[in-house]
Chain A
Amino acid sequence: MGFKEKIASGERVVTVEISPPKGADIENMMDLADSVRGKVDAINITDNQRAVMRMSSLSACSLLKAYGHEPVMQVCCRDRNRIALQSDLLGAWAMGIRNVCVMTGDHPALGDHPNAKGVFDLDSVQLLEFMRELGRGTDSMGNPLQGATGFNAGAVFNPYADPMELQVMKLKKKIEAGAGYIQTQPVFSMEMVETIMKLESETGVRFLVGITPLRSVGMAKFMSEKLLNKPLPESIIKRLEVSPDSVEEGMDIAAEFVTRIRDSVKGIHIMPIGGEAGLGSFLERIIY
C-alpha cells in the first residue's frame, strides 16, 4: 500500500527527510535513500531548505522515483513564480512523482545567497489552490491542460511559532485549499503532541509529528534557540549531558519518544537535520 493509500485508510505512516546534494554528485543521496528502503513509506526531498542553494527537489525526486523510492517533493514559494511552479508540477507528475508538500520557504536573507530576489508570487495556501486546479485539468487561469495531475498534497505546520491561534488560522486555510496531510517541525514534548492531536481531530487531516534525534547538547541548544524558540525538556538535556555517547543517547531518547506517542499518533516525520548517516540505525531501533 502506498503513502497516499495508507493515509486514506488510516494506517500508520513514516516519512523521512533527505536533502538533495549541494553539488551534482548524487551518490550520497542515493546511498542514504537505500539505507531507509523498505523502512519508511515516503522520503521527503527538501527544496533549497534554509534558502541554501542545492540540487532541485524536482530532479532529486525524479531520480529517487527511477530507483524505486516513493518521494514527497517539497515545493516552496521563494524561488519560482506561478508559471514556473505550475510548469514544474506538471513535469513532476509526468515523471511519476505523486506526493507534494508545500511551504512558504525561508527568506533568501537567511541562506547562502542572501542577495537573491525572493519571489513569493504565491503563498502556500494559494499554491495548494493552484494544485487543485491542475488536478481538475486546468491551469490557474482556467486554460485546459493536456492531462491533469492528481497529487497527494500536503503542507507543514510549525507548532512553535507565536501566536499559535494565527498559525492555526493559516493551517486551516491550507487544509481548505486541499492539504490532505500535515508534516510538523520537530516535537520533543507530550504536551505539544497533545496539541497537535487536538488539531488532527478538529480538522480531520493526518498529522505526521516531526521527530529529530538530537546528537549533542549543542545541537539541542541550537534547535531550542534558533528553530523552536522554546526550551527543550530539561530531562532530555540532562541525559545528553551525562551520556558518554550523546549521539547514541539522542537516538534512544527519540526512539523512546516515538514509543510513547505510538498510541495516539498515526504518522511520524523524521528529520535528521545533519544526522543523515545515522538514519538507518535510528529506524532500526524505533518501534512504530
Chain B
Amino acid sequence: MIFTKPKPMKEILDSLAPYEKPLILGCGTCSADCHTGGEKEVADMKKRLKSEGMGVVEGVVVESLCNLEKVRRALKDKKEQVKEADVVLVMSCGIAVQVVAAHTDKPVMPGLDTVFAGVLERIGHYREMCSICGQCVVGEYGGICPVSRCPKELLNGPCGGTIDGKCEVDSEIECAWVEIYERMKSLGNEGSLARIAKPKDHLRSTHPRRVNTGKGILKGEW
C-alpha cells in the first residue's frame, strides 16, 4: 500500500486559512488501511474544522481516489457539494490530491504526507518495501530489496557501517544486507551474491513515468 501520515494540524489550518467552506475527501483504499483518510478520520477532521469555525460542506470517502473512473463518478454524485465548497481537502496520497485537482476547478489541499510504498505489519507499524524503481531485482536478493531497504541502495554488499547487524543510519533497523545474506544462506544460494551487480538504469525510473497500452489491459507474455 501507499503509506500516508497526517500533516501537522497547524499546516492544514494554515493552508485552509484563505477559505471558508471545505469539502473533505477521504479514500477507502490505502489511507483507510493506514487510518489516515478512512471514514473515521474524515469524520474527525470534519469535527475539528467545524470547531475551528469553518463551514464544512461534507466529508466523503471515495472507494479509490487513484482510479479515475471512480473519482469522476464520485465528483459527479457530489456535484452540488463540490459547487458549494471553496476548497477541497484531500485526506489521501499525493496521487489522489493530483487526480482530484485535475477534475475540479476548486483549489485542492493535501491533508496527508505521502511517505512510502510498504507493508502494514500490524496497527501502527508500517515498513517501506519498494522504491518503485521500475526494474525489479528482488529475485536476486532472496526476496529482500536492497534498493528500498538499504539507505545507500547498495547492490554489491554492505557498506562498512554495519554494527551488530544494524544499519549505520538508524540502529533500530536491520541492515538489509545482513537480512539478504541470512535469507540467501537459508536458501543455500549465498554464493550467487558474489556476482558483481551492474549499476541501475535510471533512465527507466525518470519521472514522470507512464504506461500506455492503447486500449486493452496490460498483458504479460506468458
Chain A residues packing against B (C-beta within 8 Å): 77-78, 82, 103-104, 106-107, 109-110, 118, 120-126, 129, 156-158, 161-163, 165-167, 169-170, 172-173, 176-177, 185, 229
Contact = CB atoms under 8 A, between A and B. Distances in A.
A167 B158 contact: yes
B155 interface: yes
A197 to B, nearest CB: 19
A106 B181 CA distance: 21
A125 B159 CA distance: 11
Given A107-B169, A166-B181, A172-B194, A121 B160 contact: no
B210 interface: no
Contacts of A124: 156
Given A106-B168, A107-B161, A166-B181, A129 B196 contact: yes
Contact of A229 (B153, B156, B163, B196): B163
A109 B156 contact: no
Contact of A121 (B177, B178, B202): B202
A183 to B, nearest CB: 11
A191 to B, nearest CB: 19
B160 A126 contact: no
Interface in B190-222: 193-194, 196-199, 202
B151 interface: yes
A169 B199 CA distance: 18
A120 B152 contact: yes
16 contacts: A78-B152, A104-B154, A109-B170, A110-B168, A120-B152, A121-B199, A121-B202, A126-B156, A126-B197, A158-B160, A161-B161, A161-B163, A163-B165, A166-B158, A169-B157, A172-B194
Chain B CB within 10 Å, residue with most, of A173, A176, A177: A173
A103 B150 CA distance: 16
B164 interface: yes
Interface residues of B, number: 28
B164 A109 contact: no
Secondary structure call for the A interface = mixed
A64 B178 CA distance: 40
Contacts of B157: 125, 166-167, 169-170, 173
A158 B198 CA distance: 23
A118 B151 CA distance: 9
B144 to A, nearest CB: 13
A113 to B, nearest CB: 14
Nearest to B152: A120
B29 interface: no
A156 B160 contact: yes
Interface in B1-32: none
Contacts of B165: 162-163
Contacts of A166: 157-158, 162, 177-178, 181
